[in-house]
Amino acid sequence: MWNYEKRLQYPVKITQTNPKLAQVIISQFGGPDGELSASMRYLSQRYTMPYKEVTGILTDIGTEELAHMEMICAIVYQLTKDLSAEEIERCGFDKYYVDHTLALWPQSAGGVPWSATTFQSKGDPVTDLHEDMAAEQKARTTYDNILRLVKDPEVADPIRFLREREIVHYQRFGESLRIVQDHLDSRNFYAFNPAFDLGK
């Protein structure tokens, strides 16, 4: 189960609205390499992970990703707070606004709705951890791309924090892959799937 903590993992205090930037940053909520996909990926994969260190890391990183999703949503919320109809039209926020007003809804920057097809839960520890390491790098690149578009230091600061966490998570998943491989036959890591071929 989970408990809610009534604070953000890292503070978000944005005083200037910017709906154009919000439409880009929302991709880290519901886009292909966003925080919602990250959390669902790790929290889905952990059930069939046979090694306790890795089940632990999937649970704890999957939980941290929920806190990152909340930070992204806080950024988007504050960038679009109290907008007037004129501002919405001028900044091209009208297409989002017509369906969601100023509410948060998981979609990519291009308007594609969030989908479980953005991640895989394959049931093979080597395969799942390669997916996880790639996912952290894709999210890091997305944050690098966002940072090139951000001029406001109040927005850049929490985005830099989130980017840094992708690197730490990548490191932990790399260690997890090594732990998995230490349990396998070093002459052929693919001789069997330790999450399925139980007789081995």
Which residues sit at the interface with other proteins, rule CB under 8 A? 3-12, 53, 56-57, 60-61, 64, 70, 73-74, 77-78, 168-169, 172, 175-176, 179
Residue reference for tokens 């850049």: 156
Q: Residue 5 CB, nearest distance to other proteins (Å)?
A: 5
In single-letter form, the type of residue at position 6 comes to K
Q: Residue 60 CB, nearest distance to other proteins (Å)?
A: 6
3-class DSSP assignment, residue 31: coil
Residue placing its CB nearer to other proteins in the complex, 183 or 200: 183
Q: Residue 52 CB, nearest distance to other proteins (Å)?
A: 8
CA nearest neighbour of 87 among 22, 136, 43, 137: 22
Q: Residue 78 CB, nearest distance to other proteins (Å)?
A: 7
Q: Residue 85 CB, nearest distance to other proteins (Å)?
A: 22
Distance CA 64, CA 137 (A): 16
Residue placing its CB nearer to other proteins in the complex, 81 or 95: 81
Residue placing its CB nearer to other proteins in the complex, 68 or 108: 68
Its sign, for the CA torsion 155, 8, 38, 79, is negative
Residue placing its CB nearer to other proteins in the complex, 122 or 172: 172
Are the CB atoms for 33 and 139 separated by under 8 Å? yes
Residues of 171-187 as b/e, b for ≥16 C-beta within 10 angstroms? ebbeebbebbeeebeee
Q: Residue 89 CB, nearest distance to other proteins (Å)?
A: 25
Query: Which secondary-structure segment (H or E) carries 172?
Result: helix 153-182
Radius of gyration of the chain, Cα coordinates, nearest whole angstrom: 19
Residue placing its CB nearer to other proteins in the complex, 21 or 73: 73
Residue placing its CB nearer to other proteins in the complex, 78 or 142: 78
